Structure 1
Amino acid sequence: MSENIYLSLLIMALTIYAIRLLPFLFIRKPIRSRWFRSFLYYVPYVTLAVMTFPAILTATNHVAAGAAALIVGLIVAWITEDLFAVAISCCVVVFLVGLIL
């Protein structure tokens, strides 16, 4: 069984290395397309959003508490642009909705 684990680790390491190496092999010149550069600029933000959005909704016992915290967090972030205020307001909303439900 341990052989399968080492083989899996080797395959995963080679895959990650290949994903990071291939752009350097195929893209030698600077990217001049404004559209493609803009697309690449937003990839990390979209990836972060895709990873955290389901976790926000399923982190609590009730999906409604996570959804309410998401909405309040978006509003507080839009108004204050302060990460600490967003975190505190989301925690308070989850706590209050959890008490109600």
Structure 2
Amino acid sequence: MKSYLLLIIGMAIVTYLPRLVPLMALTNRKVNKKVEDFLSLIPYTSLSILIARGILTSNDEMILASIVGIGAAGIISYIKGNLVLSVLSGILLSFIVLNITI
């Protein structure tokens, strides 16, 4: 039991350090505008990678729901520019398409 606790504490430290070190290093420093613009795109890039992987690995019965979901998320993201709203709309439309009985 004690070794599991040490393992969990070690994993927590290793997970938290990459977040803490840049925060401490960049506190009270002005970041270049290009770097700031690049870092602002990371959430959208990460989401795009996850969605593309999900579509490429979806089975035949989920392909239509995946395409509808990514389409809805892309349109909402383009119109509104809201990441949370686009993700929720994509999930909702995918759920609706999966549960429609023809």
RMSD (CA atoms)? 3.7
Q: Contact (CA 8 Å) 1:57, 1:63: kept in 2 or not?
A: no
Name the % identity: 19
Gaps of at least 5 residues in structure 2 are: none
Residues 9 and 15 of structure 1: CA distance in aligned 2, closer, same or farther (over 3 Å): same
List structure 1 segments (4+ residues) > 6 angstroms apart after TM superposition: none
Letter in 2 for 1:14: I
Aligned residue pairs total 96
User: How far does residue 63 in structure 1 lie from its aligned partner after superposition?
Assistant: 3.9
| Aligned residue type for 1:21 | L
- Which protein shows a greater Rg? 1
Report the equivalent of 2:95. 91
Normalised to the residue count of structure 2, the TM-score between the two structures is 0.58
The equivalences for 1:60-99 within 5 A come to 62-74=61-73, 77=76, 86-96=90-100
Give me the TM-score of the superposition, normalised by structure 1.
0.58
